[in-house]
Amino acid sequence: RLESTRVTVPAPAWEHLHPPSPRAAPAMAAGNAEAITQQAKEAQGLAGMWLMKLWEALPGVLAALAVLVIGYMTINCVTRCLTKQLLALRLPNSSLHGQEAQEITEMESEDEEDMNGKHKVDRTLVQFGSTIFSTCLKVLLVLTVFSMLGIQTTSFLAICTASTFAVGLALQGQLSNLASGVMLILFATFKVGDHVEIAEREGKVMHIGLFSTFLQSDADLHIIPNGKIETVTVKGAARFTLH
């Protein structure tokens, strides 16, 4: 006697997938639209917040910009006026006695001494001083503007210090020229207009810079790094005066 056996075969997996109901489609579309609307509201709120912050910071930024421009122009104007006043200044000569004073007075040129026995201030020294004065004031101006903008100047100073140290290591030769130039300007070993011989080069001193000295000969212009100036021969030693 044969008994019937019933075997259950599982249906394919795709038969369990049913297309969405026509009633569910509008609900899904409404959910997507609501999500998009929410995202748009969040973006609009973020943009509005940034615009509000910019609007609140705008007066401070404009004030800092005005201080920067007016301060820069003022510093340049004051530096130019001070330089002109110092160049027009006349200083009395040192007290010398006897024949030495008479010889020195006769040897000095009319460009450096007037009829009252006074001489002009050294142009190189005035330009060097005005440059240092202007640079210091501009640094203070920048720090003031940063403070007005709410920027921490302490970190800025730290960055400047580190950068200066790195540049100093990379430019050791130029720093040597700079130090020599400052010493030449301050101690006035020779001055513009003197006829000198430096490093086997002879000519008239046209300019004493912080890094180089310019000599003009009959046909050439010699640019000598200040670090190489060791021995200087000033032609016409009788012109030397004590100040």
The total number of structural domains in the chain stands at: 2
Region of 191 on the Ramachandran plot (φ > 0 left; ψ -120 to 50 alpha; else beta): beta
* Whether residue 132 is found in the same domain as residue 225: no
Q: Supply the CATH number for residue 204's domain.
A: 2.30.30.60
> What's the pLDDT at 76?
93
Q: Do 178 and 211 touch, CB atoms closer than 8 A? A: yes
pLDDT average, residue stretch 91-120: 46
Q: In this predicted structure, what is the pLDDT of residue 99?
A: 41
Rounded to 5°, the CA angle 212-215-221 comes to 100
Q: Please state the φ and ψ torsions of residue 207, each to the nearest 5 degrees.
A: -160, 140
Q: Is residue 55 part of a domain?
A: yes
135 and 219 assigned to the same domain: no
Residue 242 lies in a domain: no
Strands (E), the chain: 90-92, 118-120, 195-198, 201-208, 212-216, 221-225, 232-234
pLDDT digits (tens, 9 = 90+) for 125-172: 778 788 888 988 998 898 888 888 877 777 777 777 887 777 777 767
Prediction pTM value: 0.49
